[in-house]
Amino acid sequence: MKVKFAGNQDAIAGLIFIALGTIGFVIALKYSFGNSVEMGPGYFPRVLSILLIGFGLLTLVRGLRDGVAMEGIWAWLPLLFITLSIMLFGAAIERLGLAPAVMLLIAASAYAGHEFRLREVAVLAVVMAVFATAVFVWGLRLPYPLFAWNL
C-alpha cells in the first residue's frame, strides 16, 4: 500500500522538525558562536538547531521508508491550548514570578487533554513549580524571581 506524502505522519513531523531547526539556526546566526571552551550566546541554539534538523531528517527518512498514514484529523483545540499556555508562561514569568508561571503553564496545558482532573493537575503544578525552583533558582542560580513580590 502506497501512502501519500501529505498523509504520512512521520514525514510531516520530520519536515516540521527540519523547518523549526532551520529557523532556530538562522536566528542564532546573529550571535557569536565562540568555541566549546568559551561558548558564545549562539553556541547552544546552533547546536540544538543542528540536532533538531538531524532528528527531523531521521524522522523524515523513517516516514518515507515505513509510510505510516495519519489517522483521524488534527486536534486544533488542544494545539491552541498548548500554544496559548506557553505564551501565558512567557507573560506570567515576568509579572508573577517563576512558581506561579509554572503552575499556570501546567494547568493551561493540562486543560488541553481529554481527562482534566483538577486535583491531579493541582498536585502536578505544585510539584513542577518546586522542581523548577530547585533546578533553575537553587541549582543553577538563575536570577528568576519566585513570586511577584520578589521582583
Is residue 87 located within the same domain as residue 133? yes
State the residue for C-alpha cell 527540519.
Answer: 18
Tens place of pLDDT for every residue, the chain, 151 residues? 455 666 788 888 899 999 999 999 999 999 888 887 888 888 889 999 999 999 999 999 988 888 777 677 777 888 888 999 999 999 999 899 999 999 999 999 998 888 889 999 999 999 999 999 999 999 888 888 888 876 5
Which element (helix H / strand E) includes 126? helix 118-132
How far, in Å, CA of 61 to CA of 13, rounded? 11
pLDDT of 86 reads 92
Is residue 57 located within the same domain as residue 99? no
Is residue 60 located within the same domain as residue 117? no
- Residue 100 inside a domain? The answer is yes
Amino acid residing at 78 = P
Q: Give the global pTM.
A: 0.63
Number of domains in the chain: 2
Is residue 91 located within the same domain as residue 115? yes
8 Å CB contact between 114 and 77: no
How far, in Å, CA of 101 to CA of 145, rounded? 11
Is residue 146 located within the same domain as residue 81? yes
- Residue 46 inside a domain? The answer is yes
Domain limit, last residue, from 28, 46, 66 = 66
- Residue 71 inside a domain? The answer is no
Domain limit, last residue, from 23, 43, 66 = 66
Is residue 145 located within the same domain as residue 80? yes
**Structural domain span for residue 53:** 5-66
pLDDT of 22 reads 96
Is residue 59 located within the same domain as residue 102? no
Domain limit, last residue, from 46, 66, 86 = 66
pLDDT of 119 reads 94
Is residue 87 located within the same domain as residue 114? yes
8 Å CB contact between 63 and 70: no
Please give the full DSSP string across 65-97, using - where no structure is assigned: HH-PBP-S---HHHHHHHHHHHHHHHHHHHHT-
Is residue 89 located within the same domain as residue 144? yes
